[in-house]
Amino acid sequence: MKVQAGSKPLSEKRRKQQPEKRAVLCPVYKKCGGCQLLHMDYKKQLNWKREQLAALLKPYGKLEGIIGMEMPEHYRHKVHAVFGRDGKGKVISGVYKEGTHMIVPVENCLLENEKADAIIQTVKELLKSFKIKTYDEDTGYGLLRHVLVRAGYSTGQIMVVLVLGSPILPSKNNFVKALRKVHPEITTVVVNVNDKRTSMVLGEKEQVIYGPGYIEDQLCGMTFKISPKSFYQVNPVQTEVLYKKAIAFAGLSGKEVVLDAYCGTGTIGMLASPQAGSVIGVELNKDAVRDAIAGAKRNKLPNIHFYQADAGDFMERMADGGEKVDVVFMDPPRTGSSEKFLAALVKLKPRKVVYISCNPETLARDLKYLNGKGYRMKTGVGVDMFPFTKHVETVCLLSRKAQ
Ligand code: SAH
How far is it, in rounded angstroms, from Cα 301 to Cα 272?
10
359 lines ligand 1 (CB under 6 A): no
How far is it, in rounded angstroms, from Cα 148 to Cα 188?
12
- pLDDT score, position 199: 80
- pLDDT score, position 13: 54
DSSP lists the bridge partners of residue 330 as 261, 355
How far is it, in rounded angstroms, from Cα 48 to Cα 37?
9
Mapping DSSP to helix (H, G, I), strand (E, B) and coil, where does residue 309 land? Answer: coil
Nearest to 149 by CA among 190, 207, 101, 184: 190
- Could you report the average pLDDT of every consecutive run of 10 residues in the chain (403 residues)? 39 54 74 91 97 97 96 96 94 90 93 97 97 93 97 97 96 98 98 91 96 97 95 96 98 98 97 98 96 96 98 96 97 97 97 98 98 97 97 97 73
Pairing of strands 352-357, 393-400: antiparallel
331 lines ligand 1 (CB under 6 A): yes
- pLDDT score, position 9: 41
DSSP structural state of residue 154:
S
- pLDDT score, position 5: 40
How far is it, in rounded angstroms, from Cα 260 to Cα 243?
12
How far is it, in rounded angstroms, from Cα 66 to Cα 380?
9
- pLDDT score, position 307: 98
Which H or E run includes 159?
Answer: strand 158-164
Q: Which amino acid, one-letter code, is at 203?
A: G
- Percent of the chain as helix, strand, coil, to the nearest 5: 30, 30, 40
- pLDDT score, position 22: 56
333 lines ligand 1 (CB under 6 A): yes
In the reported structure, the alpha carbon of residue 265 is separated from the centroid of ligand 1 by a whole-number distance in angstroms of 9
Residue with the smallest CA separation from ligand 1 atom 12 is 264
Q: What does the chain come to in residues? A: 403
- pLDDT score, position 97: 87
Write the DSSP string, 318-376: HHHTT---SEEEE---TT---HHHHHHHHHH--SEEEEEES-HHHHHHHHHHHHHTTEE
In the reported structure, the alpha carbon of residue 248 is separated from the centroid of ligand 1 by a whole-number distance in angstroms of 21
288 lines ligand 1 (CB under 6 A): yes
Which H or E run includes 213?
Answer: none
316 lines ligand 1 (CB under 6 A): no
- pLDDT score, position 19: 55
Contacts of 155 (CB under 8 A, 6+ apart): 215, 216, 217, 218
CA 132 to chain centre: 30
Residue 26 is among the residues annotated as catalytic for this protein: no
CB atoms < 10 A from the CB of 284, how many?
A: 18
How far is it, in rounded angstroms, from Cα 258 to Cα 250?
10
Choose the catalytic residue: 32, 109, 358, 396: 358
233 lines ligand 1 (CB under 6 A): yes
User: For a pocket test of ligand 1, which of 284, 286, 359 has the largest count of ligand atoms closer than 8 A to its C-beta?
Assistant: 284
